[in-house]
């Protein structure tokens, strides 16, 4: 197996590089899955997907639910997830505006995957903390 990760690679695969023959010599044929992973496993991406897994939310509801997220990052995260086809954005033409966010079928798959990973991570916390203590104790 051979894996790679370069920003040029990402841009190439994303389709923004016009001429395929100018592709760098790195083996970018492997692991383009990072292009998806880095969005669904991003700091706020995980939390947004987890929240939407149980029900749909309005923008301000999400902002309250996910404590600590700024408007900017929430909007940015939602746009990225919408662009990737994970989140459906339903903007009702009313005043004041009302926008509901929900998971698409694909998004539900993603959410369940990362949720499973998060559950495992939560379960392994004791072991991880123990390992960190041991490591730090020795290194001092």
Partner DNA sequence: CAGAATCCGTACCGATACTG
Partner DNA sequence: CAGTATCGGTACGGATTCTG
Tell the smallest beta-carbon distance from residue 86 to DNA (Å): 15
CA 120-52-7 angle, to 5 degrees, is 70
In sequence order, what are the beta bridge partners of 99? 91
Instruction: Pick the closer one to its own copies by CB: 92 or 109.
Output: 109
- Count of C-beta atoms within a 10 Å radius of residue 100: 14
101 CA to centre of own chain: 15
**Contact between 17 and DNA (CB under 7 A)?**
no
Between CA 46 and CA 58 the distance in angstroms is 17
Between CA 41 and CA 45 the distance in angstroms is 6
**Contact between 79 and DNA (CB under 7 A)?**
yes
Interface residue with DNA among 99, 106, 117, 121 (CB under 7 A) is: 99
For DNA, which stretch binds (CB under 7 A), given 20-28, 94-102, 106-114, 116-124?
94-102
**Contact between 52 and DNA (CB under 7 A)?**
no
Tell the smallest beta-carbon distance from residue 58 to its own copies (Å): 16
Interface residue with DNA among 9, 40, 48, 78 (CB under 7 A) is: 78
CA 17-23-29 angle, to 5 degrees, is 105
- Cβ atoms 66, 48 nearer than 8 A: yes
Place of tokens 């926008």: 99
Q: What does 131 interact with, of DNA, its own copies, none (CB < 5 to 8 A by kind)?
A: its own copies
**Contact between 61 and DNA (CB under 7 A)?**
yes
Q: Which residues bind DNA (CB under 7 A)?
A: 42-43, 58-61, 68-73, 75, 78-79, 89, 91, 96-99, 101
């Amino acid at each position: 197996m051979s894996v790679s990760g370069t920003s040029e690679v990402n841009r190439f695969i994303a389709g923004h590089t016009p001429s395929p023959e100018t592709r760098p010599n790195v083996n970018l044929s492997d692991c383009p899955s990072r292009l998806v992973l880095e969005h669904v496993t991003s700091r706020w991406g995980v939390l947004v997907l987890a929240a939407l897994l149980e029900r749909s939310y309005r923008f301000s509801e999400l902002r309250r639910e996910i404590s600590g997220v700024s408007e900017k990052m929430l909007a940015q995260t939602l746009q990225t997830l919408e662009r990737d086809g994970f989140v459906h954005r339903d903007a009702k033409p009313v005043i004041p505006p009302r926008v509901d966010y929900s998971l698409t079928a694909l998004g539900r798959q993603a959410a369940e995957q990362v949720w499973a990973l998060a559950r495992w991570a939560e379960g392994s916390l004791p072991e991880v903390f123990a390992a960190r203590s041991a490591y730090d104790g020795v290194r001092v």
